[in-house]
Amino acid sequence: MKIQNSRFIISAVKRDQYPEDLLPEIAMAGRSNVGKSSLINMLINRKGLAKTSSTPGKTQTINFYDLDGKMRLVDLPGYGYARVSKDKKSGWGKIIESYLVDRPNLMEVFLLVDLRHDPSEDDRLMYEWIRTFGYKGIVIATKADKIKNSQLQIRKKALREKLGMDPEDVLLITSADSRKGKYDVWDFINSLLEQ
C-alpha cells in the first residue's frame, strides 16, 4: 500500500474514545523505548507524526493513526515502565487490556522487542497473552542498526528460542534509523489486509 495521507486521529484512554467505524487496525505492543512510535513513523514516512523520546514512557495513551482512510496503526503505551505482570489497576494494564481484549477492528498485534537484548519476562507474558487472545503475534525486532551484521543470525535465533517461537511464527527485523525492514513489514500488513 502506498500511503498518501496519514493523520493522527485520537489519543484514547478508554473505550468510548476509540474510533467507531470498522476500519481494520494493527497495534504495536512492547516495552517502553523499544521503538513502537518510531516504527509507525517509518512505516508512514512521517518523521514526527507519532511522538518519540529517548526517555521511556513517552506514549501513555492509545494513539490511533489513520492511513488513507483504509486502516489504522495503533500506538500502545509501553510496558516495563509500569510492569505488565503487576497490578492490573496500574495505568498500563487498564488502558491496554480494555483495548486488546475486545476490539473487533484489531486484526493483528505486532510485538516489538529490541534485537540487542533477550526478551524480558514482560515480553514473554505479552507474547503469550497476544496469542491467547487469538492473534498470531508478529514479532518485530527493532534497532537492527545497533548490531553488527555478523550478530544478526545469532540474535534472531536467541529471540526465537527465548520467546518459544515455532519455525512458522513470523519474526521481522527493522531499523527506524536505516529503514531496514520497512517493506517486509508492509508486505506483511498487505497480506493481512487481503485476507
Interface residues with Mg ion (CB under 5 A) are: 36-37, 58-59
Angle at which helix 121-132 crosses helix 152-163, to 10 degrees, equals 60
Three-state SS for 112?
A: strand
Beta carbon nearer to ligand GTP, 30 or 137: 30
Site string for ligand GTP, 56-85 (x = CB under 6 A): xxxx-----------------xx-------
The single residue among 12, 36, 84, 163 that binds ligand GTP, judged by CB under 6 A, is 36
Our measurement of the distance from residue 190's CA atom to the centroid of its chain's CA atoms, rounded to an integer in Å, reads: 16
Alpha-carbon gap, residue 151 to 149, rounded angstroms: 5
Instruction: Tell me: does residue 120 bind ligand GTP (CB under 6 A).
Output: no
Shortest Cβ distance from residue 72 to Mg ion (Å)?
16
Decide if 185 contacts 141 (C-beta within 8 A).
no
Which 160-189 positions form the footprint of ligand GTP (CB under 6 A)? Answer: 175-177
88, 26, 55, 143: CA torsion to nearest 10: 130
Instruction: Tell me: does residue 38 bind ligand GTP (CB under 6 A).
Output: yes
The single residue among 146, 161, 164, 190 that binds ligand GTP, judged by CB under 6 A, is 146
Instruction: Tell me: does residue 33 bind ligand GTP (CB under 6 A).
Output: yes
Instruction: Tell me: does residue 6 bind ligand GTP (CB under 6 A).
Output: no
Going by C-alpha positions, the residue among 78, 106, 103 that lies closest to residue 92 is 78
Beta carbon nearer to Mg ion, 82 or 158: 82
Q: Which stretch binds ligand GTP (CB under 6 A): 119-127, 128-136, 139-147, 153-161?
A: 139-147
Paired strand residues for 113:
141
Task: Supply 167's cell numbers.
Answer: 519455525
Paired strand residues for 7:
66
Beta carbon nearer to Mg ion, 61 or 151: 61
Instruction: Tell me: does residue 143 bind ligand GTP (CB under 6 A).
Output: yes
Going by C-alpha positions, the residue among 101, 100, 103, 122 that lies closest to residue 112 is 122
Please report, as ranges, the residues that interact with ligand GTP according to CB under 6 A: 30, 32-38, 52-54, 56-59, 77-78, 142-143, 145-146, 175-177
